[in-house]
A and B are shown apart, each in its own frame.
Chain A
Amino acid sequence: MNEERLHAYIDGQANDEERREVEALLAGDPNLAARVQAYRLQNESLHALFDPVLQEPHRLHVPVDQHARWQRWGGMAAALVVGIGCGYLARDWLAEATSMPPIAHVAVYAHAAYVPEVRHPVEVAASEQQHLVAWLSKRLSTPLRAPALDAAGYQLLGGRLLPPTDSSDPAPIAMLMYENAQGRRLSLLVKRDSTNRETAFRFAEEDSTRVFYWIDGPLGYALAGDVSKEELQTVAHLVYRQLNP
């Protein structure tokens, strides 16, 4: 089968004759039909994912006024100076952060990224807990449980999937978010750990975010929150006990 013709068919860029030819082929080849269906679904999902952008307000415009351009260049020069400064800071920060394992590092910045989200802190809500746990288990290729942290006053808000930390370690990361009655949130990250060891709780902090991380057999964990070290430790022990009854 001519691959180009197949894509032209999917993208509506084939003529009538080519279309009939592809359809005849698909009718007799279920594998090919499934592949075409998967490609079509990709296009549909791209629209579902990104079409909402078309309706969003924005403040972009054509800079007809040339003065605006020069102001912008001035602004950019200032931004560049700040950027270089930040680059230096980030370099130090990264150098420091490399002593943390990737999961603890991801916990700090994923926590910072999602906790302030009011509407979409999680992708799948706790009301769909069974669905959420099954999905994340499947993606981590290991059975996963969402520990109940009610004893510490925290309830599951939901979860999401984070991309792998780097190309050398392609395991995706599950992120569960918990919230207490005061609206304070904790993030629990879980990832498969190939070292398969047991470690003690380790502690790190980055600005106001504190993180406990540990490895428990096939899984690595990191619990991050903007709470006191003592409170976080209590919850970390609770997580551990919940998962090792």
Chain B
Amino acid sequence: MAFSAADAEQWIPRLRRYAIALTGNREAADDLIQDTLERAWRKRALWQPGSDLRAWLFTVMHNVHVNAVRAVRPIESLDEQALDAERALPSSASAESAIVLSELRVALTRLSEEHRQVILLVGLEQMSYGETAAVLEIPIGTVMSRLARGREQLRHLLAREPQPAGLRRVK
């Protein structure tokens, strides 16, 4: 038995969370998911009954994204994407946490997409390293090295704080 449309649709919020975090752009994320759902439905006979549907949908999305990025790259600039990300996302109540999250949002745009993918699949989607490797169709060792390098880059981007003399961050 293949999956039903409703089976796939229950994963839409998860696909969206990842796609928005990856692209930093709501419109691009929704287009990506719509294309993914279309392709997944057309190819539903390829899904192995009993296997993890979420992981399969993420794999389909990854492949659709790879194609889309190849087609679109020359037009879109990262700055505009980053601006979209800032505009699109809710900011939280306290100034302190708004600042931390804002820094993270900007820092994410500075990572390469390869690093961003692994960090998001593991850290946000909480996939196992094996699942992540399957979704991205790379060896598990590559997942580990991208994860380590990406997290370390992110840590440096977030910790970069040359303090001007006489100025201290107000707590």
Contacts and interface: CB of A to CB of B under 8 A. Distances in A.
Given A58-B12, A132-B95, A141-B162, A7 B169 contact: no
B99 A123 contact: yes
Nearest to B101: A49
How many B residues touch the partner, as a band? 35 or more
Interface residues of A, number: 61
B129 interface: yes
A5 B130 CA distance: 14
B105 interface: yes
Contacts of A63: 34, 37-38, 41
Contacts of A55: 13
Contacts of A53: 13, 16-17, 20
Interface string A182-195: 00000000000000
Interface string A68-99: 01001000000000000001001000000000
A130 interface: yes
Contacts of B109: 163
A30 interface: no
B29 to A, nearest CB: 9
Contacts of B98: 123-124
B155 A35 contact: yes
A163 B82 contact: yes
Contacts of B138: none
B89 A163 contact: no
Given A7-B151, A49-B104, A163-B106, A61 B37 contact: yes
List 8 tightest A-B contacts by C-beta distance, closest first.
A62-B5, A128-B95, A43-B123, A163-B82, A53-B17, A54-B13, A46-B124, A38-B155
8 contacts: A45-B100, A50-B124, A63-B38, A64-B5, A69-B38, A123-B91, A123-B102, A163-B78
